[in-house]
Structure 1
Amino acid sequence: MSASGCRVRGRVACVQFPSHRDGFTFDYLGYDGADLAPSDYQETWDLQRAVHGRVVAQEIGPQVLYVQHPPVYTAGRRTLESERPFDGTPVVDVDRGGKITYHGPGQLVGYPIVTLTRAIGPLEYVRRLEQAVIEVLEPLGVHGTRVDGRTGVWLPADAGRPERKICAIGIRVARMTTMHGFALNVTSASCGPFGNIVPCGIDDAGVTSIEDEMGGPPPSLIDIATQLEPLLAQHLGFALTPRP
């Protein structure tokens, strides 16, 4: 039984390290006492849907699921057959917007499950996710930014390097409540498999990680996740507004 009270099959059925902050529950899936052990994508998606149903029913408050996945590509609704990889890595078709992306070791994935409001719709919600990530990167000397017309958090082009994405964001909203979320590249190892695809359908930009931008060992996934807690609670605080 997880902190959210949802039973699912498989290895992620037990959330081992729930954290509660400012009305939010942060569930650390696969926490092994040191960091986040990889958790199967399909099983985590099942858990997302179970938690989503309980948030919609107002049985529980806003949730954020933190996870690290084993290597997997996820194909959004706009993915073309020609954009799929052929390296043998699993590809899961998902119900979020956008195209294909990669999840794997060294990447912190966050799935906020929160109810939007009339004032805070999907676009503003995405901008708030971006802002939380930008703010968690800043103390590390990694100066993330937004790029007009593109979702996610980016590093600006510099000498010899194009614009490069450090955090991808893709969401689905059902019954005014969000699913899916963000994927922040922490270690340089998390970037290699992006070479088998055109990430999110963008072919004129690169991919980077906290480690690449710092030029040295990055914090652990668990450290980044805990530092994100107050930022997500702040920027997604609208989700605590009582519903009629």
Structure 2
Amino acid sequence: MTEQTGSIVEGVSTGTTLMRMDLHEARVLQTQLVAARQAGVCGDMVLICEHPPVMTCGKRTSEAEEAAVRSTVDVPVVCVDRGGRVTYHGPGQVMLYPVVSLRERKLGVSGFVCAFLSAIGSYLKNRYSLATEVRTDEPGLWTAERTRRKLVAVGLHIRRGGVTDHGFCLNVSPERSRFASISPCGLEPGQITSLAEVLGPEQIGENSANSIASELALVLQESLGIGAVFSNKSLGNLIG
């Protein structure tokens, strides 16, 4: 995809095109953004991208679970220091990696997670008339139907100075079969859903993940004051 130049928000150059970014590349970029935020040279921001197919194992993943995943999947398996267990990332998901100073906002982790998920939920309500609920017992954004299913997963790590790392994953239209061989976030595969499943692919339209990413960037800027980063192409000396 070709990155488009956008506006300057909180000292961060934003774009409007969802980039497919390797997990390692995204981790390097977010680490650089975290360092910049800790140094006070930029404001709060969120890296928005999608990944090629990959499984990630959070800090709560047991050795047995990791070994089982490695023996059954045909995509890379990467251990990361976010919270949570095993999950899948790939095309058709919008990855949202906030780099936010909780200390400056005087927010605890649960308060921030609730605010971020609520912003996504408000967007889905306004855009698609889709009712969702933020759950704290099983952290994430879930459909509000009788049989609740998870739309947005969360896995964070709080760095020095109270700056957030890792983030959130919105299922727009991922390949459903990728969840079948794992217990995503410790859940049954059937408890995971996507916008395409809930609304139907015709309602979210073609190139839906890209459109939703662009719209969410505006929502997060307006509701939470978080500027969006879609790539490292236009960040200048911020992370150099």
Q: Could you state the TM-score of these two structures normalised by the residue count of structure 1?
A: 0.79
Q: What is the distance in 2 between the residues matched to 1:16 and 1:59? A: 24
Cα deviation for residue 235 of structure 1 reads 4.3
Quote the residue 2:85 is aligned against. 99
Quote the residue 1:134 is aligned against. 121
1:16-37 Cα distance to aligned partner (Å, 9 max, x none): 3454476374745xx7xxx534
1:198 maps to which of 183, 191, 197: 183
Residue identity over aligned pairs, in percent, reads 33
Q: What is the distance in 1 between the residues matched to 2:167 and 2:175? A: 17
Query: Which secondary structure state, in structure 2, belongs to the residue aligned with residue 77 of structure 1?
Result: coil
2:18–2:214: 8 Å Cα contact kept in structure 1? no
Query: Which secondary structure state, in structure 1, belongs to the residue aligned with residue 43 of structure 2?
Result: coil
Q: What is the distance in 2 between the residues matched to 1:198 and 1:46? A: 27
Q: What is the distance in 1 between the residues matched to 2:75 and 2:13? A: 29
1:74-95 Cα distance to aligned partner (Å, 9 max, x none): 1110101332322121111111
Which ranges of structure 2 fall in alignment gaps of 5 or more residues? 228-240
Does residue 216 (structure 1) correspond to residue 201 (structure 2)? The answer is yes
Quote the residue 1:4 is aligned against. none
Cα deviation for residue 156 of structure 1 reads 3.4
Change (3 A) 1:61 1:201: same
Question: Superposition RMSD on alpha carbons, in Å?
Answer: 2.6
**Count of equivalent residues:** 217
Change (3 A) 1:221 1:214: same
Q: Could you state the TM-score of these two structures normalised by the residue count of structure 2?
A: 0.80
Cα deviation for residue 230 of structure 1 reads 3.3
Does residue 170 (structure 1) correspond to residue 155 (structure 2)? The answer is yes
Q: What is the distance in 2 between the residues matched to 1:36 and 1:99? A: 26
1:55–1:113: 8 Å Cα contact kept in structure 2? yes
Quote the residue 1:90 is aligned against. 76
Quote the residue 1:50 is aligned against. 32
1:40 maps to which of 5, 17, 22: 22
Q: Greater RCO between the two (CA within 8 Å, min separation 6)?
A: 2
Cα deviation for residue 168 of structure 1 reads 0.5
The structure carrying a bigger helix percent of its residues is: 2
User: Could you tell which deviates more after superposition, 126-135 or 195-204?
Assistant: 195-204
